[in-house]
Amino acid sequence: MTAPIRTGILGYGTGGRVFHGPLLAADPRYAVAAVVTSDPTRAEHARRAHPGVAVLRTAEELFAAGGLDLVVVTTPPGSHYELARTALRHGLAVVVDKPFAVRAEQGRELIAEANRRGLLLTVFQNRRYDGDFRTVRRLIAEGALGEIRTFESRFEWWKPSGEKAWKAQAGPDSGGGMLFDLGPHLIDQALQLFGPVAEVHAELARYRNGEGADDEAFVSLRHESGVRSHLAMSSLAPVARPRFTVVGSKTGFVKSGLDVQEGQLAAGLRPGDPEYGREPEARWGRLGTAPVPTEAGEYAGLAAALRSGAPPPVRAGDALAAVELIERIHATTEIRHRN
């Protein structure tokens, strides 16, 4: 495939507008050919950001139009399965936002469908390529901390209002809640570092009034390797705690703040800019007391998988493993209402 990879983006919220659109537009191997959104403001943004793009109101219009090589599914989680399955049945390669699916069985069906058709199916587990996680991964691989004993990872912020409509209304069966929103990232990172899980414990809490999904989740994983991962996620955290705390037999590593790429993309900075993905020294983590430069973050690898058969940036089976754990947690853990 030497011509640009003609790509359709299903959904133009934060995922399509801030992540996928800019990342695709910055890479000459892609052409953003179609965007699906029914929101007039987002439609106008898409036309400005991607000159010549076809802006469509429904997924049905996109599939009927044809002419695409790749579809990116960046809609609310409850629609991921149907849209990805339809795209595969139209002979298209597919990127699905996390969570891969809201039920593990759906994920297994999508993998089987892609295998039957010989099509690429991958999941946008972009936090694997955050600079802070790349730094943690390198330090562990180098043995800089010694034998790892505990791994603490947090995604927390203070957002008591202004939640997206679907997030505010969706229950776990539709992919709502912090465990489904941030758990796929944190669980995926832990599995990448320390491998399969032997034991899982979780606590889920809701603080907002009324029925709904979890506002806060804590997950403890005991990996078969012996490492214990403590993962915390919250949309109602009034104080900032470290993003990573990794304790080893030699020393520890502590890193605060979220990766810079999302903020840079939202502000208009693009891959290829010398400052893209780079973090200022004031935000570096510390190995013991010594500052450690944060590696430059990047999200790449999909075009090579499409054009030359290289491995996809994320195996769909890896993303499925995180969904299986989330499904297991929701089946055994009650959401406690604390309002």
Strands of 54-56's sheet in order across = 54-56, 30-36, 5-10, 70-73, 93-97, 121-124
pLDDT score recorded for residue 261: 92
Per-residue model confidence (pLDDT) at position 148: 98
The domain locations on the chain are 5-124, 127-301+326-337
Which pLDDT does position 339 carry in this prediction? 67
What was the pLDDT predicted at 205?
Answer: 95
Give the pTM: 0.94
**Top-level class of domain 127-301+326-337:** alpha beta
Q: What is the pLDDT of residue 255?
A: 98
Q: Is-same-fold flag (5-124; 127-301+326-337)?
A: no
Low-confidence ranges of the chain (pLDDT < 70): 1, 162-168, 339
pLDDT for 74 equals: 97
* CATH 3.60.40.10 given to domain 5-124: no
- 244-248 sheet: strands from edge to edge: 290-292, 285-287, 252-255, 244-248, 148-156, 228-234, 216-223, 197-206, 335-337
Number of H helices, E strands in the chain: 13, 15
